[in-house]
Amino acid sequence: QSVLTQPPSASGTPGQRVTISCSGITSNIGGDSVNWFQHLPGTAPKLLIFLNNQRPSGVPARFSGSKSGTSASLAINGLQSEDEADYFCAIWDDSLNAWVFGGGTKLTVL
Amino acid sequence: EVQIVESGGDLVRPGGSLRLSCAASAFTFINYNMNWFRRAPGKGLEWVAYIGSASAAIYYADSVKGRFTVSRDNAKNSMFLQMKSLRAEDTAFYYCARENTYCTSDVCGGALDYWGLGTLVTVSS
């Protein structure tokens, strides 16, 4: 059972917009900033979003993040086949002294 | 270019021990907190352990507390994970990640900005 809640799967066709949600509680998402990662097994996890909505250099602008209250979202505009991967939200929970993750969302590009 | 490379993964029997290493380069290692994570087959990413830049703060996931020990050697730009009493459920790819702190005009927070490719630990008889 993950501390943060994500839908297990999402899908879209090339060019579409897809959003992935991540919900928590006041003591985690409500008080800390969210990271989003893209991961394909056998590769290094890749940071897509930090501080809720900031993109590291090199991450395409079609990836965006937002947070409201105890929920966060990752949006992918102009979906591409190479976006097919697992996506995870995570925060540092000060009350637990731990990084906590969502269970992950498997994105399929149809 | 920042590089993080994990090593030491292997096949080990239940109850056995293993030591993982994480070698960092192209950044000032002593300035950063570091973490271990893992991803088991068919499961999600899971945090394993945190070690502060000067090793003053160390935290563990409940699932490994008392069995795993994280350490670092700043002179050698390296972090380690000593694992003992290994169980089948410890089977996973283990990843090392750098933790950085970023700020905007209204918020500061941590980000796991660089990761390694991982090393595979298999616990099986």
pLDDT of residue A27: 67
Per-residue pLDDT tens over the stretch B105-123: 888 899 999 999 999 999 9
Burial B59-73 (b: 16+ CB within 10 A, else e): bbbeebeeebebebe
Q: Is residue B33 less than 8 Å (CB to CB) from chain A?
A: no
Q: Cβ separation of A99 and B111 shorter than 8 Å?
A: no
Q: Is residue A102 less than 8 Å (CB to CB) from chain B?
A: yes
Shortest Cα distance, chain B CAs vs residue A25, angstroms = 17
pLDDT of residue B116: 98
Shortest Cα distance, chain A CAs vs residue B46, angstroms = 7
Q: Cβ separation of B45 and A37 shorter than 8 Å?
A: yes
Q: Provide DSSP, B64-119.
A: TTTTEEEEEEGGGTEEEEEE-S--GGG-EEEEEEEEEEEE-SS-EEEEEEEE---E
pLDDT of residue A103: 96
Per-residue pLDDT tens over the stretch A29-57: 667 889 999 999 889 999 999 999 999 99
SS (H, E, C) chain A: CCCEECCCEEEECCCCCEEEEEECCCCCCCCCCCEEEEECCCCCCEEEEECCCECCCCCCCCEEEEEECCEEEEEECCCCHHHCEEEEEEEEECCCCEEEEECCEEEEEC
Assess whether pLDDT exceeds 90 at residue A28: no
Number of H helices, E strands in chain B: 0, 11
Percentage of chain A exceeding pLDDT 70: 95
- How many Å is the maximal CA-CA distance in chain B? 54
pLDDT of residue A30: 66
B48 SS3 class: strand
Residue A62's pLDDT band (boundaries 50, 70, 90)? very high
Residue with tokens 């090593």: B7
Q: Cβ separation of A88 and B97 shorter than 8 Å?
A: no
Q: Is residue A57 less than 8 Å (CB to CB) from chain B?
A: no
Span B10-38, mean pLDDT? 98
Shortest Cα distance, chain B CAs vs residue A17, angstroms = 24
